[in-house]
Amino acid sequence: MNKIAFTGNGTGKVPDMQGLFREMTALMTRLFPICRSITGDGFRESLKIISEYMPLTVHEVPTGTRVFDWTVPREWNIRDAYVRNSSGEKVIDFNESNLHVMGYSVPVHEKMPLSKLREHLHTLPERPDWIPYRTSYYKEDWGFCMTHRKFSGLREDMYEVHIDSSLRDGHLTYGEYYLRGQTPEEFLLSCHACHPSLCNDNVSGMVLTALLGRRLSSLSLRYSYRILFIPGTIGSITWLSLNEEAVKNIRHGLVVTAAGDPGMSTYKRSRQGNAEIDRAVEHVLKHSGGLYRVVDFSPYGYDERQYCSPGFNLPVGCLQRTPHGEYPEYHTSADNCDLVRPEHLTDSFLKYLSVLNVLENNRRYINTNPKCEPQLGSRGLYASTGGQSHAAADRMALLWLLNMSDGRHSLLDIAERAGMEFNIIHAASDALLKAGLLKDGQPCA
Ligand code: ZN
């Protein structure tokens, strides 16, 4: 019988919360400053750090590779950038924030008046102290992003504009960890890792996935797990295009992102809508004791868009906190390490583990004594007091299991029907198996 080490839902091993807080904060602090993009050395540097948590295979896909209707773009790298006024003062400096340069800006070094420079400046007038995040992956351009307050103070002048970047044939890099379980059936965890210093979107997802990968690698698992650290959109398209054969093994999947803001958990269902992953996540959220939201699939958002495109239609949902665009800090310099709190990241982490726990242990059983109820008292199954091996298996859970274990209903079906938490039903099924009243556990996938 497989067991995820702990579930966060009251049973199993209690995690060392302070230790988790510390670890998550430390990893977040290391990843946050790196200037990542959909290609380039910042992405590689991030994968190197994540490799300390799991043995990642790093793939390099050459520029120009056709991936379905797309083409792997040129590789972008940046060393420095600034705008300097005629007094020699840097009014914008990449070294102060990597958000100051629009992602994929082509190299430029020239002098220009404010009127021309202004065409390349991006600000947020309604949030005058925040720097926006902008990219131009597929159109050659250059730009700077700055606070509106500083922008408003720019005087007429000749400015020296310098972007020391390169946009050349190179590679799209992604990291992959395949962890073999008892069956080749797979659980896909997909994390985009292409944003520069933006913490909730997307350093939080990288941190959660890194710690999840390390945790999983220490467990005996039924499913095989495939963990991807990819650039958003082009990364999932590239992976799907190069791995069509592997796709057939995917039974469940989650896109990991926005894991650390203070908002409630939000689950976006897979396109299938009622896949086992959808039901497992909804069950965990329902029994989490906190507020949560479940929304239907829509073809906008993160990489679930690609996994759930009609040609694949994989059971992949997205478990996050506040969705993109629904919190004011999204894609601005205010999405920083102050927005992401370790207690929220830890809460998200425990929910992910709970979901994996449900799916790892969800099976169908058959009642060996289906004609009328078996006598539970004579088997010691009514004495569900503390200290016994079946302490968690309360009487109603036993009765529901015996009644519905006809080989067609899974433990999750029974938990839902009984209105009970999965772990209570699961513990009761263990007690009935030991007593010989259930047999032949069948996996559900
Ligand atoms: Zn984003």
Does residue 34 sit within a domain?
yes
Comparing 96 with 390, the larger pLDDT belongs to 96
Ligand 1 centroid to Cα of residue 233, in Å, is 10
Ligand 1 centroid to Cα of residue 202, in Å, is 7
pLDDT digits (tens, 9 = 90+) for 267-283: 999 999 999 999 999 99
Mean pLDDT over residues 120-128, rounded?
98
Residues 342 and 260 in one domain: yes
Ligand 1 centroid to Cα of residue 324, in Å, is 7
Mean pLDDT over residues 83-99, rounded?
98
Q: Which of 122, 143, 168 is the last residue of a domain?
A: 168
The CA distance from 228 to 53, in Å, is 13
Q: How high is the pLDDT of residue 394?
A: 82
Ligand 1 centroid to Cα of residue 435, in Å, is 52
Residues 367 and 308 in one domain: no
The CA distance from 400 to 396, in Å, is 6
Ligand 1 centroid to Cα of residue 297, in Å, is 18
Ligand 1 centroid to Cα of residue 153, in Å, is 29
Ligand 1 centroid to Cα of residue 320, in Å, is 13
Identify the CA nearest to 357 among candidates 416, 426, 405. Answer: 426
Q: How high is the pLDDT of residue 387?
A: 52
- Say how many domains are in the chain: 3
Q: How high is the pLDDT of residue 270?
A: 98
The CA distance from 357 to 353, in Å, is 6
Q: Which residues make Cβ contacts (< 8 Å) with residue 120, sequence separation at least 6?
A: 141, 142, 143, 144, 161
Residues 161 and 179 in one domain: no
Ligand 1 centroid to Cα of residue 201, in Å, is 5
Q: How high is the pLDDT of residue 444?
A: 65
Q: How high is the pLDDT of residue 8?
A: 38
Ligand 1 centroid to Cα of residue 114, in Å, is 30
Ligand 1 centroid to Cα of residue 273, in Å, is 24
Does residue 1 sit within a domain?
no
Q: How high is the pLDDT of residue 2?
A: 40
The average confidence (pLDDT) of the chain is 93
pLDDT digits (tens, 9 = 90+) for 420-436: 999 999 999 999 999 99
pLDDT at 301 over 70: yes
**435's tokens:** 């007593």
207 has which bridge partners? Answer: none
Does residue 87 sit within a domain?
yes
Residue 266: CB atoms within 10 A of its CB come to 18
pLDDT digits (tens, 9 = 90+) for 127-148: 999 999 999 998 999 999 999 9
**CATH number, domain containing residue 385:** 1.10.10.10
Residues 352 and 367 in one domain: no
Ligand 1 centroid to Cα of residue 140, in Å, is 20
Does residue 146 sit within a domain?
yes
Ligand 1 centroid to Cα of residue 82, in Å, is 24
Does residue 424 sit within a domain?
yes
Residues 211 and 338 in one domain: yes
Buried b (16+ CB within 10 A) or exposed e, 36-64: bbbbbbbbbebbeebbebbebebbebebe
pLDDT digits (tens, 9 = 90+) for 48-57: 999 999 999 9
Mean pLDDT over residues 119-123, rounded?
98
**CATH number, domain containing residue 143:** 3.50.30.90
Ligand 1 centroid to Cα of residue 381, in Å, is 52
418 sits in which H/E element = helix 411-418
Ligand 1 centroid to Cα of residue 65, in Å, is 24
Residues 147 and 196 in one domain: no
Neighbours of ion ligand 1 (CB under 5 A): 201
**CATH number, domain containing residue 36:** 3.40.630.10
Q: What are the Cα distances from residue 237, in Å, to 158, 208, 231?
A: 43, 23, 10
Ligand 1 centroid to Cα of residue 192, in Å, is 9
Mean pLDDT over residues 217-238, rounded?
97
The CA distance from 154 to 132, in Å, is 18
302 has which bridge partners? Answer: none
Ligand 1 centroid to Cα of residue 230, in Å, is 13
Mean pLDDT over residues 200-225, rounded?
96
Q: How high is the pLDDT of residue 167?
A: 98
Q: How high is the pLDDT of residue 445?
A: 58
255 has which bridge partners? Answer: 190, 318
Residues 304 and 326 in one domain: yes
Q: Which of 361, 396, 423 is the last residue of a domain?
A: 361
Ligand 1 centroid to Cα of residue 219, in Å, is 32
Domain that holds residue 420: 363-443
Mean pLDDT over residues 255-264, rounded?
97
Does residue 9 sit within a domain?
no
Ligand 1 centroid to Cα of residue 330, in Å, is 8
Q: What are the Cα distances from residue 186, in Å, to 214, 300, 318?
A: 17, 25, 17
pLDDT at 378 over 60: yes
Q: What are the Cα distances from residue 394, in Å, to 6, 76, 236, 423?
A: 20, 59, 44, 11
> Is residue 187 a contact partner of residue 135, using CB atoms and an 8 Å limit?
no
Q: How high is the pLDDT of residue 442?
A: 65
Does residue 6 sit within a domain?
no
Q: Which of 168, 196, 221 is the last residue of a domain?
A: 168
Residues 262 and 321 in one domain: yes
Ligand 1 centroid to Cα of residue 301, in Å, is 9
> Is residue 336 a contact partner of residue 202, using CB atoms and an 8 Å limit?
no
The tokens 């991807």 sit on which residue? 228
The tokens 């259930």 sit on which residue? 438
The CA distance from 415 to 196, in Å, is 42
Does residue 236 sit within a domain?
yes
Residues 306 and 414 in one domain: no
Residues 160 and 218 in one domain: no
**Could you give the strand order of the β-sheet that contains 108-113, starting from the edge strand earlier in sequence?**
90-93, 75-84, 158-168, 108-113
Ligand 1 centroid to Cα of residue 228, in Å, is 17
Ligand 1 centroid to Cα of residue 306, in Å, is 16
* Phi/psi of residue 76, nearest 5 degrees: -115, 135
Instruction: Give the rounded percent of residues in the chain with a pLDDT score beyond 90.
Output: 89
Ligand 1 centroid to Cα of residue 50, in Å, is 20
Residue 94: CB atoms within 10 A of its CB come to 23
DSSP-assigned letters across all residues of 103-115? BTPPPEEEEEEHH
Comparing 89 with 444, the larger pLDDT belongs to 89
Ligand 1 centroid to Cα of residue 413, in Å, is 36
Q: What is the pTM assigned to this prediction?
A: 0.94
> Is residue 252 a contact partner of residue 187, using CB atoms and an 8 Å limit?
yes
Residues 389 and 256 in one domain: no
Residue type (1 letter), 116: K
Residues 225 and 329 in one domain: yes
Q: Which residues make Cβ contacts (< 8 Å) with residue 264, sequence separation at least 6?
A: 290, 291, 292, 293, 321, 322
